[in-house]
Structures are given as structure tokens and as C-alpha cells.
Amino acid sequence: MKKSLADKIEEYLKVLIERSENRQVEIQRSELAETFDCVPSQVTYVLSTRFTEETGYLTESRRGGKGYVKITRLDDSDLKSDTFRRELISFIDEMRDKKNISSKEAEMLKFLTNYAFQGFAVEEKNRIFKALKKALENYLL
């Protein structure tokens, strides 16, 4: 059975991630599109459908001339603490939507939430995420 282009791109990225020391890869969308002789939107499609939190990946994207995509494979402990992290991310989005914080501030908070606590134990992450949410709730009072 012949593999689709999306399957090939997904497989390629997963191999790169597994070979990396820190279970993540940082690539430029345009370079990946060039490698597979396709348009960048096809790469975007693969990233948005195959590298999601539900499938165990965290994807960060920065657009523009020096733009990149960073894909991180979440480990089991990250997935277990995911409920509290998602709650915090949703709350940050809600704050942004209500104009309590700017989009830039929301992106910074979400970046910190997603990356600053990677080496922490699950229980510690859960405590931190709960404490951050409570602090942000108090900030709005």
C-alpha cells in the first residue's frame, strides 16, 4: 500500500523526535516542505492533525522569516498532569477573550505553562498549575 504524503511527513518527524535527546525537534516549515516537494500548507495540515495534545505531542509555532515549528513528545507523566495544565490554558484563553490580558501576555503565559515545568514530577506540576490558576483568578479580583 502506497503511503500518502501526510503519512510520509508524519513518519519523518516522528523518527527525528525519537532520535533527539530531549524528545523534541525544531524545524522550519518551508525547509520541510522543500524536503518533501510540497507547499507549506501541507506541512501545516500534518502538524495540526497528527501532532496534537490528544496524540501526545505539544506543538509550538512561530511564523515569519525566521519562523519555526517545535514539536515535543509528551511522556506519560506529562499526560497524567495534562488535566490541570489544560484547565490553566483554558483559563488563560478565557482571560484573553475577556480582554483581561493581551494576546501577547496570553501566549507568554501559555508558553511558560507548557515548557517551564517539564522536568518536574507530576504531583509538583499539578500543584504549580493549581497555584498559577488561583493566582490569576486573584489577579482579576
The total of other beta-carbon atoms located within 10 Å of residue 103's CB is 10
pTM across the whole model: 0.59
DSSP state letters, 8-32: HHHHHHHHHHHHSTTSEEEE-HHHH
Compute the C-alpha angle 107/111/117, nearest 5°: 155
Tell me the mean pLDDT in the region 89-103. Answer: 92
Comparison of pLDDT for 122 and 132, the residue scoring more: 132
Strand pairing partners for 70? 26, 60
Domain 5-74 in this protein, CATH class? alpha beta
Nearest to 18 by CA among 96, 73, 81, 95: 73
- Pinpoint the alpha helices (H) of the chain: 5-19, 29-35, 40-50, 76-80, 82-97, 103-115, 122-140
Q: In angstroms, rounded to a whole number, what is the distance separating the alpha carbons of residues 26 and 90?
A: 25
| Domain locations along the chain | 5-74, 77-140
Please write the tens of the pLDDT for every residue from 18-67. 999 888 999 998 899 999 999 988 998 999 899 987 788 888 877 666 67
